[in-house]
Structure 1
Protein backbone atom coordinates (compact mmCIF):
# COMPACT_ATOMS: atom_id res chain seq x y z
CA UNK A 1 0.00 0.00 0.00
CA UNK A 2 1.54 3.28 -1.00
CA UNK A 3 1.96 6.18 1.43
CA UNK A 4 -0.57 8.35 -0.40
CA UNK A 5 -3.30 5.68 -0.11
CA UNK A 6 -2.53 5.27 3.58
CA UNK A 7 -2.61 9.04 4.12
CA UNK A 8 -5.89 9.26 2.21
CA UNK A 9 -7.37 6.50 4.37
CA UNK A 10 -6.29 8.12 7.65
CA UNK A 11 -7.14 11.64 6.52
CA UNK A 12 -3.56 12.78 6.98
CA UNK A 13 -0.20 11.38 7.93
CA UNK A 14 -0.82 8.15 9.92
CA UNK A 15 1.48 8.98 12.87
CA UNK A 16 -0.13 12.27 13.93
CA UNK A 17 -3.62 10.92 13.28
CA UNK A 18 -2.98 7.95 15.58
CA UNK A 19 -1.57 10.26 18.26
CA UNK A 20 -4.64 12.53 18.04
CA UNK A 21 -6.96 9.51 18.28
CA UNK A 22 -5.04 8.23 21.33
CA UNK A 23 -5.23 11.63 23.03
CA UNK A 24 -8.93 11.96 22.25
CA UNK A 25 -9.52 8.43 23.59
CA UNK A 26 -7.88 9.38 26.91
CA UNK A 27 -10.00 12.54 27.21
CA UNK A 28 -13.22 10.65 26.42
CA UNK A 29 -12.19 7.94 28.90
CA UNK A 30 -11.75 10.56 31.63
CA UNK A 31 -15.16 12.08 30.88
CA UNK A 32 -16.87 8.67 30.88
CA UNK A 33 -15.14 7.73 34.13
CA UNK A 34 -16.34 11.00 35.68
CA UNK A 35 -19.87 10.04 34.62
CA UNK A 36 -19.31 6.66 36.34
CA UNK A 37 -19.62 4.73 33.08
CA UNK A 38 -17.44 1.71 32.48
CA UNK A 39 -16.83 -0.42 29.36
CA UNK A 40 -19.00 -3.31 30.54
CA UNK A 41 -21.88 -0.94 31.31
CA UNK A 42 -21.58 0.72 27.92
CA UNK A 43 -21.53 -2.67 26.19
CA UNK A 44 -24.61 -3.70 28.19
CA UNK A 45 -26.44 -0.46 27.30
CA UNK A 46 -25.59 -0.80 23.61
CA UNK A 47 -26.64 -4.47 23.40
CA UNK A 48 -29.80 -3.75 25.39
CA UNK A 49 -30.64 -0.85 23.06
CA UNK A 50 -30.12 -3.00 19.95
CA UNK A 51 -32.17 -5.81 21.47
CA UNK A 52 -35.08 -3.44 22.23
CA UNK A 53 -34.99 -2.10 18.66
CA UNK A 54 -34.93 -5.69 17.37
CA UNK A 55 -37.98 -6.67 19.42
CA UNK A 56 -39.84 -3.47 18.51
CA UNK A 57 -39.24 -4.30 14.87
CA UNK A 58 -40.77 -7.75 15.23
CA UNK A 59 -43.66 -6.33 17.24
CA UNK A 60 -44.30 -3.88 14.39
CA UNK A 61 -44.23 -6.73 11.86
CA UNK A 62 -46.63 -8.75 14.00
CA UNK A 63 -48.94 -5.74 14.33
CA UNK A 64 -48.90 -5.05 10.57
CA UNK A 65 -49.44 -8.71 9.70
CA UNK A 66 -52.40 -8.94 12.07
CA UNK A 67 -54.12 -5.91 10.51
CA UNK A 68 -53.26 -7.14 7.01
CA UNK A 69 -54.97 -10.47 7.66
CA UNK A 70 -57.96 -8.77 9.23
CA UNK A 71 -58.41 -6.49 6.23
CA UNK A 72 -57.69 -9.27 3.74
CA UNK A 73 -60.65 -11.24 5.06
CA UNK A 74 -62.89 -8.51 3.62
CA UNK A 75 -60.91 -7.00 0.75
CA UNK A 76 -59.88 -10.12 -1.17
CA UNK A 77 -63.31 -11.78 -1.34
CA UNK A 78 -64.88 -8.50 -2.50
CA UNK A 79 -62.13 -8.05 -5.09
CA UNK A 80 -62.59 -11.63 -6.31
CA UNK A 81 -66.37 -11.19 -6.62
CA UNK A 82 -65.92 -7.91 -8.55
CA UNK A 83 -63.35 -9.51 -10.87
CA UNK A 84 -65.65 -12.47 -11.55
CA UNK A 85 -68.58 -10.12 -12.27
CA UNK A 86 -66.40 -8.09 -14.66
CA UNK A 87 -65.18 -11.19 -16.50
CA UNK A 88 -68.77 -12.39 -16.85
CA UNK A 89 -69.82 -9.03 -18.34
CA UNK A 90 -66.99 -8.89 -20.90
CA UNK A 91 -67.78 -12.33 -22.34
CA UNK A 92 -71.33 -11.38 -23.36
Structure 2
Protein backbone atom coordinates (compact mmCIF):
# COMPACT_ATOMS: atom_id res chain seq x y z
CA UNK A 1 0.00 0.00 0.00
CA UNK A 2 2.99 2.31 0.38
CA UNK A 3 3.59 1.88 -3.36
CA UNK A 4 0.02 2.94 -4.13
CA UNK A 5 0.43 6.02 -1.96
CA UNK A 6 3.73 6.84 -3.68
CA UNK A 7 2.26 6.43 -7.18
CA UNK A 8 -1.01 8.16 -6.32
CA UNK A 9 -3.08 5.23 -7.62
CA UNK A 10 -2.82 1.50 -8.06
CA UNK A 11 0.12 0.11 -9.96
CA UNK A 12 -2.01 -1.13 -12.89
CA UNK A 13 -3.85 2.18 -13.31
CA UNK A 14 -0.58 4.13 -13.10
CA UNK A 15 0.98 1.94 -15.82
CA UNK A 16 -2.08 2.44 -18.06
CA UNK A 17 -1.95 6.22 -17.54
CA UNK A 18 1.76 6.29 -18.36
CA UNK A 19 1.18 4.26 -21.54
CA UNK A 20 -1.62 6.59 -22.71
CA UNK A 21 0.38 9.74 -22.00
CA UNK A 22 3.47 8.22 -23.64
CA UNK A 23 1.49 7.48 -26.82
CA UNK A 24 0.06 11.03 -26.91
CA UNK A 25 3.45 12.64 -26.35
CA UNK A 26 5.03 10.33 -28.94
CA UNK A 27 2.36 11.31 -31.49
CA UNK A 28 2.89 15.01 -30.81
CA UNK A 29 6.67 14.67 -31.10
CA UNK A 30 6.26 12.78 -34.38
CA UNK A 31 4.00 15.51 -35.77
CA UNK A 32 6.62 18.15 -34.98
CA UNK A 33 9.48 15.94 -36.17
CA UNK A 34 11.14 15.77 -32.77
CA UNK A 35 13.11 12.77 -31.63
CA UNK A 36 14.68 12.14 -28.21
CA UNK A 37 18.23 12.38 -29.53
CA UNK A 38 17.40 15.66 -31.28
CA UNK A 39 16.29 17.10 -27.95
CA UNK A 40 19.47 15.83 -26.29
CA UNK A 41 21.68 17.27 -29.06
CA UNK A 42 19.83 20.59 -28.97
CA UNK A 43 20.41 20.83 -25.24
CA UNK A 44 24.06 19.88 -25.65
CA UNK A 45 24.54 22.43 -28.45
CA UNK A 46 22.88 25.10 -26.30
CA UNK A 47 25.32 24.45 -23.46
CA UNK A 48 28.33 24.40 -25.84
CA UNK A 49 27.25 27.65 -27.54
CA UNK A 50 26.64 29.28 -24.17
CA UNK A 51 30.12 28.21 -23.05
CA UNK A 52 31.76 29.51 -26.23
CA UNK A 53 29.82 32.78 -26.28
CA UNK A 54 30.58 33.28 -22.61
CA UNK A 55 34.31 33.05 -23.24
CA UNK A 56 33.94 35.33 -26.26
CA UNK A 57 32.18 37.88 -24.04
CA UNK A 58 35.03 37.65 -21.55
CA UNK A 59 37.45 38.15 -24.43
CA UNK A 60 35.69 41.38 -25.40
CA UNK A 61 35.72 42.43 -21.76
CA UNK A 62 39.47 41.82 -21.69
CA UNK A 63 39.88 43.93 -24.83
CA UNK A 64 37.96 46.78 -23.21
CA UNK A 65 40.08 46.43 -20.08
CA UNK A 66 43.32 46.68 -22.04
CA UNK A 67 42.09 49.61 -24.13
CA UNK A 68 40.99 51.50 -21.05
CA UNK A 69 44.14 50.64 -19.14
CA UNK A 70 46.25 52.11 -21.94
CA UNK A 71 44.76 55.50 -21.06
CA UNK A 72 43.96 55.19 -17.36
CA UNK A 73 47.24 53.72 -16.06
CA UNK A 74 49.57 56.35 -17.61
CA UNK A 75 47.26 59.16 -16.44
CA UNK A 76 47.15 57.61 -12.95
CA UNK A 77 50.93 57.29 -12.82
CA UNK A 78 51.40 60.86 -14.08
CA UNK A 79 49.00 62.20 -11.43
CA UNK A 80 50.75 60.19 -8.70
CA UNK A 81 54.15 61.51 -9.79
CA UNK A 82 52.86 65.10 -9.85
CA UNK A 83 51.27 64.69 -6.41
CA UNK A 84 54.45 63.09 -5.04
CA UNK A 85 56.50 66.16 -5.97
CA UNK A 86 54.09 68.40 -4.01
CA UNK A 87 54.42 66.39 -0.82
Given the two structures, how large is their TM-score scaled by the length of structure 2? 0.71
1:85 paired residue number: 82
1:50 paired residue number: 47
Structure 1 counterpart SS, 2:46: helix
Residues 52-67 of structure 1: pairs in structure 2 closer than 5 A? 52-67=49-64
**Unmatched tracts of structure 1, length 5 or more:** 4-12
Matched, 1:40 2:37: yes
Structure 1 counterpart SS, 2:34: coil
Matched, 1:15 2:12: no
Report the aligned-residue RMSD. 2.8
Size of the alignment, in residue pairs? Answer: 79
Structure 1 counterpart SS, 2:75: helix
